[in-house]
Amino acid sequence: MPVGTGLCRNLYTPEEVGQDVSLTPRAFLLVAAGLLSFAVLPSAAPLMAQDSPLVLEAHGGVAAPLGSFADGAGPGEGTTAGPSLALTFALPGAGWRALYAGFSQHRFGCEAAGCDADGRYVATGFNVGVRVVPVNRGPVIPWIRLGAVTTRVETGDLTATPSSAVDAGVSDLGFGGEVGVGILVRLGRSLGWSTTGLITSVDTDLPGGSTLSMRYFTAHTGLSFLF
């Protein structure tokens, strides 16, 4: 399925969004608020001037399961790697830290996990967190990334057997975390090339009551636009 088509399928109505907001755990909101304050409050360390107050990253790559997504007897066994894309905004803060927020979509193969031929689990979500930037000057800028993740998974292809078909549809909103590293190579004053590697852990409940316990690695690369 073309990526553009997948993006259109993953837009949710305002009614669905409203229902999910009311169910958002307080712990997740507290974590997000903590990350925000940590990134933007002044640091005791000397401030370093930022050449770019905002960075936009457009990335593509691959997402690969680190193990079975199945929880007990539920679907998820045999999930395979698939294409992945991400759009991330980074806002440099004081000294060695920066706040980031973004969108991502991963398409895991699931033909061996109860899906139709060439079926996909389509995981779409948002993330927010903090980057630790040990060196924020020069042509090469590395970072360490830590954040919180929300994810929905479309399992419309999960209809190969009657037992798997009960979990076909769209999952509940799942919550988890991510950790990773990245590097930005500046190509000019307003353009760069960046690469990231992330490990993500998130659980989400399917329509039939089963749980997908998702642990996966994403490798992304692409352009960075510095404003």
- Position 210 scores a pLDDT of 87
pLDDT tens digits, 113-125: 778 888 899 999 9
- Report how far residue 212's alpha carbon sits from residue 68's, in angstroms, rounded to the nearest whole number: 9
- Position 74 scores a pLDDT of 66
In sequence order, which residues have a C-beta less than 8 Å from that of residue 9 and are 6 or more positions away?
A: 122, 154
Domain range for 156: 3-226
Q: Would you tell me how many other CB atoms lie within 10 Å of the CB of residue 19?
A: 12
- Domain total in the chain: 1
Q: Which residues of the chain have pLDDT under 70?
A: 1-52, 72-74, 94-95, 160-161, 163
Secondary structure (3-state) at 154: strand
- Position 25 scores a pLDDT of 52
Q: Would you state the structure tokens that stand for residue 144, as one six-digit string? A: 């360490």
Q: Evaluate whether 220 touches 59 at the Cβ level (below 8 Å).
A: yes
- Report how far residue 125's alpha carbon sits from residue 142's, in angstroms, rounded to the nearest whole number: 25
- Position 100 scores a pLDDT of 96
Beta-bridge partners for 107: 122
Q: What is the CATH number of the domain that holds 141?
A: 2.40.160.20
- Position 14 scores a pLDDT of 41
pLDDT tens digits, 67-104: 989 876 667 788 999 999 999 999 987 668 899 999 99
Q: Evaluate whether 155 touches 168 at the Cβ level (below 8 Å).
A: yes
Half-sphere exposure of 46 (CA within 13 A, CB side): 3
